[in-house]
Amino acid sequence: MAFVLLLVIAFLAVPPVSAKEDVGYTICPSTSDDPVTTLRLSSSIGQGETNRHQFYIGSGVRYLEVYLDWGPSPNPDSLALTIYTPSWKNLGTLHDSIDGQTNDRIHIDIYPDSTYVDQGTWTFDVYGEQVSSRRSYTLNVYQHS
Amino acid sequence: MSTSTLRSGELLRLLSLTILFSMLLLVSVGSAAEYTILPSNNIGDEPGTPAAGETVQEIDPIPLWLFLLLCIFPQLTAAPIETLLPLKAVGYLGYRRVCRENALDNPRRLEILSFIKANPGLHFRELLRTMSVARGTLDYHIRIMVSEGLLKIVPEKGRIHYFIADSRYSIEEETLIVAMENDGLRGIITQIYQNQGARTEELAEESGLSKATIYTHVKHLENLGIVRSDRAGRHVRYTLTNNYSRALIVYVNIRNPESIRIPAEHAG
């Protein structure tokens, strides 16, 4: 009874969440309407699919390092990575060349304009942008304190 | 106590819980931070390498309970996880309580118990290293199995070692299994077994450890009852006690460590 009541209140209190908040970012194809959330660091993905990975970042973290690796690939497969802050601010969709190299991996650092990055659950959507068959990949997130 | 008093008490608790829960849902999702994305400092290096001596920690994906919670309340992504921990309990409302009879209905828990049965005496970090299971998950299942009497714990040198509750091992065997988990103690036990009556100097020379370290280890083994010391003139000689000599044979049969060479007639 109590649980049902709490659940009803919770549903009523949930605001609609959208990646299209007014934060000046371009919405790219990687934001699938129906991402598959995975609780693993490594996974596989097909053409047009989106896998969602979520990581909890604690307090006192100066910057994040993100490493998405889907190589080596015999085919010219391409994955894209969309990053959301804990407040669901879309930091943009990143492609292979974001780190200055086209090498089947995305390796970036995320720096806040304040001292520390936001504490909370960060969301990383991996999108199968150009995948000939299922492509396996690993996603690693490091917090630098 | 009247029924109406009970009901008003229940209603009050429900109201308090509801208010607390509603307050939690009002967690601010505002964020002042803007972010800059740059090619990583570690390009060409191993990911996760400290750039300037800072602490680096690889992050695990969120646990299942938090994932389920975020599916229902996505705005809680901005909440510090510490404030969400009490909600973990809410998830269990309406579910049956874990007790000894149903504790092993959970396949992961059964898997952990079976692993400990096959590898008695491992401590938490070793279990974590050898089993592909998240730290929180392992901790949760072990706590349940200890509280339900399915596992027993043997503390030793600041570590907790685990055995199944109805372990077939004697107390001596368990003590030895735990001692053999320590590299230093294992080396000395092995040396003394192969050289009954060894002196501190001999143990130090063979192991490459200082005499002070050997002395500390041997005293600890003496306190555990594994080693006996006998003074012979100016020297003290160490031997394994009879109970532990037998226990060592059992240990070798279950672990067969490469570092110990037991004569074939003893190895069973």
DSSP per-residue string spanning B174-209: HHHHHHHTSHHHHHHHHHHHHTTTEEHHHHHHHH--
pLDDT of residue A15: 44
Residues 6+ apart with CB under 8 A from B194: B261
Cβ-based burial of B182 (10 A; exposed 0-12, middle 13-18, buried ≥19): middle
Q: Is residue A39 part of a domain?
A: yes
Q: Is residue A71 part of a domain?
A: yes
B34 pLDDT band, cuts 50/70/90, is: confident
Q: Indicate which CATH number applies to the domain containing A40.
A: 2.60.120.380
What is the phi/psi pair of residue A121, to 5°?
A: -95, 115
pLDDT by 10s per residue, chain A, length 145: 555 555 545 544 444 444 434 443 333 333 344 556 555 566 889 999 999 999 999 888 999 999 999 987 777 889 999 999 999 899 999 999 888 888 899 999 999 998 899 998 999 999 999 998 888 888 989 899 8
Rounded to whole angstroms, the Cα distance separating B100 from B145 reads 8
pLDDT of residue A26: 36
Strand residue runs (E) in chain B: 35-39, 56-58, 151-156, 159-164, 198-199, 227-232, 235-240
pLDDT of residue A96: 92
Write the residue in A14, A56, A66 that is nearest to B73 by C-beta: A14
Q: Is residue A22 part of a domain?
A: no
What is the phi/psi pair of residue A80, to 5°?
A: -125, 155
Write the residue in A92, A99, A121 that is nearest to B70 by C-beta: A121
B54 pLDDT band, cuts 50/70/90, is: confident
Q: Is residue A48 part of a domain?
A: yes
Rounded to whole angstroms, the Cα distance separating B83 from B68 reads 16
* Polymer length of chain B: 268
What mean pLDDT comes out for the span B46-57? Answer: 82
For B98-132, write each residue's pLDDT tens digit. 677 777 888 888 889 888 988 888 888 888 888 87
Rounded to whole angstroms, the Cα distance separating B152 from B164 reads 6
Domains (range + CATH), chain B: 66-95 (no CATH), 103-164 (1.10.10.10), 171-255 (1.10.10.10)
- Scanning A81-110 for CB atoms below 8 A from B yields 83, 85-89, 91-92, 94, 98-101, 107-110
Write the residue in A55, A118, A145 that is nearest to B55 by C-beta: A145
Q: Is residue A20 part of a domain?
A: no
Q: Is residue A16 part of a domain?
A: no
Write the residue in B37, B59, B64 that is nearest to A39 by C-beta: B64
Query: Does the beta-carbon distance from B25 to A89 stay under 8 Å?
Result: no
Rounded to whole angstroms, the Cα distance separating B186 from B12 reads 59
Q: Is residue A11 part of a domain?
A: no
Q: Which residue has the higher pLDDT, B75 or A51?
A: A51
pLDDT of residue A31: 37
Q: What is the mean pLDDT of chain A?
A: 77
pLDDT of residue B100: 74
For B185-215, write each residue's pLDDT tens digit. 888 888 898 888 999 888 998 888 888 888 8
B25 pLDDT band, cuts 50/70/90, is: low
Where on the phi/psi map is residue B225: left (φ > 0), alpha (ψ -120 to 50), or beta?
Answer: left
Which of B198-216 are b and which e, b meaning 16 or more Cβ less than 10 Å from the residue's Cβ? Answer: bbbebbbebbebeeeebee
- Tell me if A14 sits within 8 A of B73, measured CB to CB: yes
Q: Is residue A92 part of a domain?
A: yes
- Tell me if A70 sits within 8 A of A79, measured CB to CB: yes
Query: Does the beta-carbon distance from B66 to A87 stay under 8 Å?
Result: no
* Cβ neighbours of A41 in B, within 8 Å: 60-61
CB pairs < 8 Å spanning A and B: 175
- Calculate how close chain B gets to A132, using CA atoms only, in Å: 27
What mean pLDDT comes out for the span B145-173? Answer: 85
- Calculate how close chain B gets to A34, using CA atoms only, in Å: 12
Percent of chain B whose pLDDT exceeds 70: 77
B227 pLDDT band, cuts 50/70/90, is: very high
Domain, as residue range, for A106: 35-144
Report the number of distinct structural domains present in chain A: 1
